[in-house]
Chains A and B, each alone.
Chain A
Amino acid sequence: MDIGHETLVAISKSWGLFYLLAFSVGVMVYAFWPGNRKAFEHARTSILAEDDTPLEPEN
């Protein structure tokens, strides 16, 4: 198959467009998923903790 300009444009206008759209929807869903709210809030605030040692492993 000859991959020329037309083929590439067709691929970008279909699959290229769809994968980027699907990807951005996926990112939005992940960012706004209610179940993730707690983990994000914890990550957001926990870096401010003063404790500067690794957590003890549970073993």
Chain B
Amino acid sequence: MISRLTLSERQLALGVLLFLGIIGLAMAAAGRNDPLGGQGFIVLLFSVGLAFYVMSGYFAPEPDESRLASYYDDPTKVGIVLAMFWAVIGMAMGVWVAALLAWPELTFVDQAWASFGRLRPVHTSGVIFGFGGNALIATSFHVLQRTSRARLPDQFSPWFVLIGYNLFCIVAASGYLMGITQSKEYAEPEWYADIWLVIVWVVYFLIYLRTLARRKEPHIYVANWYYMAFILVVAVLHIVNNLAVPVSFSHAKSYSLFSGVQDAMTEWWYGHNAVAFFLTSGFLGMMYYYLPKRAGRPIFSYRLSIISFWGITFLYMWAGSHHLHYTALPQWVQTLGMTFSVMLLVPSWASAGNALATLNGAWHKVRDDATLRFMMVAAVFYGLSTFEGSFMAIRPVNSLSHYTDWTIGHVHAGALGWVAMITFGSIYALVPWLWKREAMYSPRLVEVHFWLALAGTIVYVFSMWNSGIIQGLMWRTYNDSGTLAYSFVDSLEAMHPYYIARTFGGLLFLAGAVVGTFNVLKTITLARHESATAAEPDMPAIPATSAVQAGE
């Protein structure tokens, strides 16, 4: 990896790591006994460790100009491995916390870090940001270069984004275990981590703009629009929702700029758009590239993909208030969120239908190829969970579903059925292309992974639907004297069997991810072994004599 960087890029990497190490040291020194001190040591260790790695390859010969005649895929390769790694960590955490709900006595370590409240955000951030985010960054670099027919503008900034983003994930996850949190769903990391993510994210967006400026295709392919909406809107959401004042520069704790219902509205404007632009828009970008590519058929309707893009982008912005039905939020704001959520069904189903219509005529491939089947099932679950979402946003429906496990079931229909399925499908398509092999190490294991993932999702979602609706009904059942028929503990006991089923569903899904990770790692080692024995240079077929890039 390091030997493919130019000398000035290696120096830049060391410079940035030195700067980061100093920041870590300063945090450790200023924080002292505050949790900030512990976070500082993590930043310091991370930077020093990486600096050693960069130095180990520092004196390797520089790459020649021929590198410019091929795409730069090293960050994508590392990103895929990191995504699979985070998938296993995040999903294992999920199974752990699911087991804690079914059997609370399982808190076998009597330590604060092992409590449900601290482990749960490690699960949510681990799967959303660790797994989802790394997969998005990795695939976006791949799709961006192919659809622009242009190489990434430089070799340092993609590494800065990928590694910097993972530093954010590590600082976030370790912080939760120490008890650091802003107590905002999906926005738990504190101010210093938030500032770091803004820097990383701006560089990410600039890579996109710089590569698009060098593109050789006149039209920007629709997948890039989705990826760019993801990057741009997440930046806006992240900055606004995390406007906060730290207690002092030596404390991890900060206080939000907003309070009361304004704080709640800002948080759920952020929270729902995180679902929209992190978990939907970016993954739609993935779908619009890898699904046609794998099926060998162009997207059914390109126009429809554009119309649904703008539909999703502009309608989602207003939907967040449906998280605050029957609260202190003004009624008309709730109605606004409800109305936009219902309208969202149109562009959502347009995308799901577009994907399925693309496969029309290639169903034999879907039958034979588990990779394509992952993507097909993802499109089906996307359609299902967007319908469910619009439905649950309707106020009277929400009065039954809100605060119950139905919400958890809905989230996982989207996260397991849509986000994870499209990601695994894309990764199984991408890994053989990137490592220049005919197929994955074991297509049978892809098949095993597919059925584990599908079975796990169905068990999970059905148990949560049952649990949620029972719970919701028990909470609203009154007896003859007009008081509640069931206590909260009664409903908790009714949920117990479903909690066990949910844990089992999650375990199946985790097992699939472990199988997938093994398959990916095995494919990579096989490819490395083959290229080492064949001693073939890793170069494109065309000779690269005059491959000087524009602007170089």
Q: Which residues of A are in contact with B by a Cβ distance under 8 Å?
A: 5, 9, 12, 20, 23-24, 27-28, 30-32, 39-48, 52-59
Contact = CB atoms under 8 A, between A and B. Distances in A.
B77 interface: no
Contacts, number: 86
B303 A31 contact: yes
B307 A48 contact: no
Interface stretch (B11-19, B97-105, B292-300, B463-471): B292-300
Nearest to B303: A31
B292 A47 contact: yes
B542 interface: yes
Contacts of A41: 302
Interface string B133-159: 000000000000111011100000000
Contacts of A46: 217
Interface in B2-53: none
Interface of B: 68-71, 145-147, 149-151, 216-222, 289, 292-293, 296-299, 302-303, 306-307, 310-311, 314, 330, 332, 336, 433, 540-542, 546-550
Given A32-B303, A47-B146, A54 B219 contact: no
A47 B332 contact: no
Nearest to B552: A57
Contact of B221 (A28, A43, A52): A43
A42 B302 CA distance: 10
Given A27-B306, A40-B219, A47-B146, 18 more contacts: A5-B332, A23-B310, A24-B310, A30-B306, A39-B219, A43-B217, A43-B219, A43-B221, A43-B222, A43-B302, A44-B302, A47-B221, A52-B71, A53-B69, A54-B69, A54-B70, A56-B546, A58-B550
Contacts of B145: 54
Q: Kindly name the residue among B151, B297, B306, B336 whose own CB sees the greatest number of chain A CB atoms within 10 A.
A: B306
Contact of B550 (A45, A53, A59): A59
A57 B549 contact: yes
A34 B74 CA distance: 40
The 6 closest A-B pairs by CB, nearest first: A55-B216, A55-B149, A39-B219, A53-B540, A31-B303, A27-B310
